[in-house]
Amino acid sequence: MKNLFLTAVIALIIFVCTTSCEADNDLPETETITKEENPVTQKIDLSADGYVNYANSTNLTTLWMRDDHEPRSRGNAEMYAHIIGLDSNKQPIITTVRMPYANHDRTMYYPNQKMIDWDKNNYAGGLVSIVFMEADNPGLGGDPIFPTTYNEGQFFNMPIPQALNIITNDFVSAVGTGYSTISNGIIFDGADDLLDVFYNISRTRDYVVVGGAVGGSRNNVYVTLKRKFD
């Protein structure tokens, strides 16, 4: 009887371990981009003649999310991204990128979509943050007007990564409070969901299967970002 009991316990342990290990077996190994990370101190990519390789744009080549925050009873998710950067006066530039293909979580997408247009926006320091969102009200998710007003020169003597992190965190804190948008004067009702945040994405490097800063070691969104040279 004792041997039968031990056999049953061992079988149960094996079943639990196998189930938990298979839960995320479709998720590649990752690294995490946190708000403390400063790409300025990282090794940057140089050309053969020693000049920095400044990309014209950065494309989203793979996308995977753990939870799209959209109940199946409400249909497909409507995912989009806000790109947050600074202009030459260290004031926020925020644009929106639509992602109509990203309808389901736990699905690997290969969109090869332009995510950051470095040439068009000329972001200070060649750095941006990416905030991934899910729109609970289709048609929303416009270019947001910030609910926080920054004083002229407020970030003048502050390092660009630090200023960008402050603005990004203010933006993330505003999610769920409702804010106006540029597009047709639409008002967000706070229903849109924050999926994940990527801080200090640099113009001078690629990111291969990296997780965002939300959720600690179990990040929600994983992306590969590749530079494009036109």
Positive or negative torsion for Cα 5, 9, 10, 11: positive
217: left (phi over 0), alpha (psi -120 to 50) or beta: alpha
Predicted pLDDT at 154: 85
Residue 173 has a pLDDT of 75
Strands 113-117 and 127-134, how do they pair? unpaired
**CA dist., res. 78 & res. 96, Å (int):** 13
For residue 119, pLDDT beyond 90: yes
Is the pTM for the entire model greater than 0.85? no
Q: What is the mean pLDDT of the chain?
A: 73
State pLDDT tens for residues 132-147. Answer: 988 765 554 444 555 5
pLDDT of residue 37 exceeding 50, the answer is no
For residues 155 and 163, the answer to whether their CB atoms sit within 8 Å is yes
Most confident of 18-32, 185-199, 213-227: 213-227
Which tokens hold the place of 88? 């030459």
> Do β-strands 31-32 and 79-86 pair in parallel, antiparallel, or remain unpaired?
unpaired
The pLDDT score that the predictor gives to residue 120 is: 93
Half-sphere exposure of 84 (CA within 13 A, CB side): 26
Look at residue 215 in the predicted model and tell me its pLDDT.
Answer: 58
Query: For residue range 96-107, what is the model confidence (pLDDT) as tens digits?
Result: 899 999 998 999
pLDDT score at 113: 96
Q: What is the pLDDT of residues 183-218, one digit of tens each?
A: 333 344 455 788 899 999 999 999 998 888 875 545
Residue 162: CA atoms inside 13 Å, Cβ hemisphere, count?
6
21: exposed, middle or buried (C-beta count within 10 Å: 0-12, 13-18, 19+)? Answer: exposed
Per-residue confidence (pLDDT) for residue 141, from 0 to 100? 47
Q: Do the Cβ atoms of 132 and 81 come closer than 8 Å? A: yes
pLDDT of residue 107: 93
- 41 pLDDT band, cuts 50/70/90, is very low
228 contacts: CB under 8 Å, gap ≥ 6: 55, 56, 57, 58, 59, 114
pLDDT in tens, 172-184: 777 765 554 433 3
Q: How far apart are CA 214 and CA 158, in angstroms?
A: 25
Q: For residue 125, is pLDDT > 80?
A: yes
What are the phi and psi torsion angles at 203 (to 5°)? -70, -15
* Cβ–Cβ < 8 Å for 132, 221: yes
Amino acid 70: pLDDT? 77
Query: What pairs with residue 117 in β-bridges?
Result: 57
Alpha helices in 32-183 (DSSP H): 118-121, 160-174
Looking at residue 187, what is its pLDDT? 40
| Residue type, position 200, single letter | N
Tokens 């790109």 map to which residue? 83
